[in-house]
Amino acid sequence: MAQEKEESQLKEIVAVCKRRGFVFPGSEIYGGLSNSFDYGPYGAELLQNLRKLWWEYFVQRREDVVGLDTSILLHPKVWEASGHVSNFSDPLMDCKSCKVRIRVDHFLEEKKGSAFIQGLTLKEMQKIIEEENYPCPNCGARGSFTEARNFNLMFRTQQGANEGGTIDLYLRPETAQGIFINFKNVYSTCRRKIPFGIAQIGKSFRNEIMARQFVFRTREFEQMEMEYFCEPGTQKEWFKHWVEYCMLFLTDVLGLKKENLRIREHTKEELSFYSEATSDIEYHFPFGWGELWGIASRTDYDLKQHEKFSGEDLKYVEQSNNKKYIPYVVEPALGLNRLFLAVISDAYGVEQLPDGETRTVLRFSTKTAPVKMGIFPLMKKEELVPKAREVFSILQTHWTCEYDDSGAIGKRYRRQDEIGTPFCITIDYQTLSDNTVTVRERDSMQQERVLIGNLKSYFIEKF
């Protein structure tokens, strides 16, 4: 029952996202491309706000972090060095009957629980699935699964037009490696001293076997990652610091509800081969708890590997005592699209109003809201429109505003509630005599009159 309710909430969120121009199905006029999404005008604004807030909090407000913007296509050796060519794969099997692809670990986890599957090899998982004679989740056929195998998640492509002169490349599956291969460039040109971090925002690509749950897991997505380079021996402290810092970003900067967030430490069996410790910040999505942010203590693995494969000396030299070492790294890695889904899920609500009507409302914080103010003339009348336009042009130079003069005022309020606009300003006949407007607050729906001349300072205080 609870699961049904959760699933129907996800459907409602997907419907609001489509209806109100946050997210559209990808390539829709051609019948759609599975698991691809396009962000509409309000979605694009929300993504921009999240990027901006993350960049401010992780780069601009920190003396010890700098930004970077590296290529999606990197030298193919990068992925050999990082271990992605040999290790970046998921266990897969097909149903011979309906040809659906199934991720073996997720399939068994759904049947037996996450504790059960920890540490199991591919062969062991396959044996259990055969013994239990589970049916295919898509067509119900039994005994129809192929042998389980590892499937590399990197997308391949080719560079170059000349026949024979092309090289095989991968679309990056994470932004982190672009940072590692530029470590020396950054620390030598920007005169950085350890400890310091390098952050970047950009697209990543993974050929996920079971891409699902709206924008939670897609094949093309955006990451906001930071590699924090520190002296060996200090990584535990920094790891703790960054887990707390990330949590504060979610609760204090974005205003996500604390009860929807939790920290989950990885067990030894779960840890990636390069990781000494990993904690996930999980969010309670409409379909249950899921990883939002992975914070990993990556040791000196990546820099060491790049030193080995490139032949470049990637050691850091401490100026004061000439001490030379490969730094350890702590990495907070966040998916922008998952954050987008968490922020919308957190904000989503349906309310019964005193007049018996219901309203859908997205309670975004003033920082994340795609549109900050809606500005309306009470009616589309000659006397009111120019005044409303005047107010719009005053406020639009400072905040993202929307002007709307069509339809009943109540409908215009509902529309702004559904896109999460925190304030609506209405210009009526009283405005013409005393220069005051009505400011309506989204959550309380309380209204107050404010002098046009005071609007700027009024909103500076509110924001």
Where along the sequence are the contacts to ligand ATP (CB under 6 A)? 174, 206, 208, 217-218, 221, 223, 291-294, 333-335, 337-338
65 DSSP β-pair partners: 197
Residue with structure tokens 């535990």? 236
Cβ at position 367, least distance to ligand ATP in Å: 20
Q: Given the complex with ligand ATP, which of 115 and 161 has the nearer CB atom?
A: 115
73 burial level (CB within 10 Å; 0-12, 13-18, 19+) = middle
**Amino acid in position 348:** Y
d(CA 333, CA 10): 25
* Contact of 173 with 185, CB cutoff 8 Å: no
* Residue 447 per-residue DSSP state: E
Q: Given the complex with ligand ATP, which of 243 and 401 has the nearer CB atom?
A: 243
308, two tokens: 């080995």
CA 356 to chain centre: 36
d(CA 249, CA 245): 6
Crossing angle of the two packed helices 455-462 and 384-396, in degrees rounded to 10: 50
112, two tokens: 């037996």
Cβ at position 55, least distance to ligand ATP in Å: 17
Cβ at position 339, least distance to ligand ATP in Å: 7
* Contact of 399 with 459, CB cutoff 8 Å: yes
Q: Which uninterrupted H or E stretch holds 109? A: helix 104-112
The number of beta carbons lying within 10 Å of the beta carbon of residue 125 is 20
CA distances to 226, 298, 321 from 229, rounded to whole Å, are 10, 10, 18
435, two tokens: 């220069």
* Contact of 270 with 118, CB cutoff 8 Å: yes
Closest CA to 247 of 308, 207, 277, 292: 292
Cβ at position 289, least distance to ligand ATP in Å: 11
Cβ at position 171, least distance to ligand ATP in Å: 13
Cβ at position 146, least distance to ligand ATP in Å: 22
Q: Given the complex with ligand ATP, which of 92 and 333 has the nearer CB atom?
A: 333
311 burial level (CB within 10 Å; 0-12, 13-18, 19+) = exposed
Q: Given the complex with ligand ATP, which of 275 and 360 has the nearer CB atom?
A: 275
273, two tokens: 């081969």
Q: Given the complex with ligand ATP, which of 219 and 456 has the nearer CB atom?
A: 219
Cβ at position 264, least distance to ligand ATP in Å: 11
Cβ at position 245, least distance to ligand ATP in Å: 16
DSSP SS3 for 374: strand
Cβ at position 328, least distance to ligand ATP in Å: 18
Cβ at position 319, least distance to ligand ATP in Å: 34
Q: Given the complex with ligand ATP, which of 279 and 421 has the nearer CB atom?
A: 279
The number of beta carbons lying within 10 Å of the beta carbon of residue 121 is 9
Closest-approach residue to ligand ATP (CB) = 335
Cβ at position 294, least distance to ligand ATP in Å: 3
* Contact of 236 with 106, CB cutoff 8 Å: no
Q: What are phi and psi of 23, to 5 degrees?
A: -140, 130
